[in-house]
Amino acid sequence: MTKSFHEDTNSELQAGLAALIGEEVLKIANEQCTSLPDNASPYMFADRVERGHPIFTSETTMATVAYIKLAGQNMTPGVRDNLRKAVEQFGHVEFVQAIEDALDTTPESSVKVASSTAPQYAFEDEGRCAYPLTNFSAVLDSANRLAYDYADARFPAPLMKVAAERVVEAAKFYGVDEFMLPDVIVKHATTRIPDFDAALRQIGLRVRNLGDAAKDAAEAYKTALTHDDSVDVFESALTAALRVQELDKAFGVKTGSENLDPLSLVFSGAVVDDVVKVANSSVCLFDSVIPGEVFAGICDRLPLPALFDEEAVTKIAAAVALIRKGEGIRATEVIDTLDGQARATLAHSLVSSVQSAK
């Protein structure tokens, strides 16, 4: 359950809030929350499901921002977006920057300055630059303009992923909290696996309001979302997203709560980093996924020299060392270099060891 600033009884945290926003502002914010009726509108809160993190006044918004920063709370994209809108509505962008500065423990000698360690622009190509990212305010302004231009099909989908990654990187560098960035920027800074089948299933939803043009539009979208197996799947997905963006503009399809934006439509699979993390915690042998700890533990107990030749023993030991370093993908690659007989023997030994342990 979401805990809000006026519900948290931690005295140290309350003292920190008072120091950040002022005792008078905190007092007003607490009084405003105390006077809220039990049936208060969920739109008065950043977390509309739990009715937490009040944002219905200037003071409650300031207190909520400071509390979330002090308490180190994570936010869902919806909560983050609602809080960002409240910050903009009440004109607290500079206040958020002041909060960041007040909580920054970086020594003055290492204050960040624009340099090659942070992207200078969200878009750079052959001398052309756009959406500057040279300071706190520039990051916020460019993030909002980029999100608007992408939604309006004035910024091509294939370039959006790199641009979003640059914005998020610069935001971290200059201390801009993610909740201040448009959700579409944060979303596309993370790479997901393309899912063409899922995208094709969304065509009917996308064309449902196009009247007589719906049939032709559906065929056009279907063609745009056809993946050529001879082309790299990520490259193909970016091309498909661009085609969808162009079709959206041609047919007047608006993206938002009802229709996914072109990149979200095509890249709807698992987060790549999560897949890599899972893959690195396991070993794959004959299409069977074996937890890394189980694989390493069994190999430690096996009489490897009695089962394999010297080369195979060396490779299996190397695979075990890699899995213990969290490099299951490389461990699998090493196992794949064993000859067929050695891999079959290893698989049989693993199964036998598991069965005997039951």
DSSP of 91-147 = T-HHHHHHHHHHH----GGG---SSTTS-SEEEEETTEEEEE-SSHHHHHHHHHHHH
pLDDT computed for residue 203 by the predictor: 93
Q: Give me the pLDDT at residue 353, please.
A: 83
Q: What is the pTM of this model?
A: 0.61
Provide the residue ranges of all domains of the chain, joining segments of one domain with +. Answer: 11-103, 121-188, 196-266, 280-357
Q: What is the pLDDT of residue 281?
A: 92
What per-residue confidence (pLDDT) applies to 224? 95
Beta bridge partners of 291: 282
Beta bridge partners of 130: 123
pLDDT of the residue at 252: 92
Q: Return the pLDDT at 114.
A: 43
Q: Please name the residue that has the structure tokens 């878009």.
A: 123
Output the 3-class SS for 246-271.
HHHHHHCCCCCCCCCCHHHHHCCCCE
DSSP SS3 for 31? helix
Q: What is the pLDDT along the chain (358 residues), one digit of tens a residue?
A: 567 898 888 888 888 888 888 889 899 999 999 888 888 888 899 988 888 899 999 899 999 988 888 887 778 878 888 888 888 888 887 777 777 666 654 444 334 444 446 788 999 887 788 999 988 888 988 999 999 999 888 899 999 999 999 999 999 888 888 888 888 999 999 889 999 999 999 999 999 989 999 999 999 999 999 988 888 999 999 999 999 999 999 999 988 777 899 999 999 998 888 888 888 999 998 888 899 999 999 999 899 999 999 999 999 999 999 999 999 999 999 999 999 999 999 999 888 887 776 5
Q: CB–CB of 167/122 below 8 Å? A: yes
Q: What pLDDT, on a 0 to 100 scale, did the predictor assign at position 296?
A: 92
Q: What is the pLDDT of residue 104?
A: 57
Element (H, E) at 188: helix 183-188
Q: Cα 78 from chain centroid? A: 13
Cα of 319 vs its chain's centroid, Å: 31
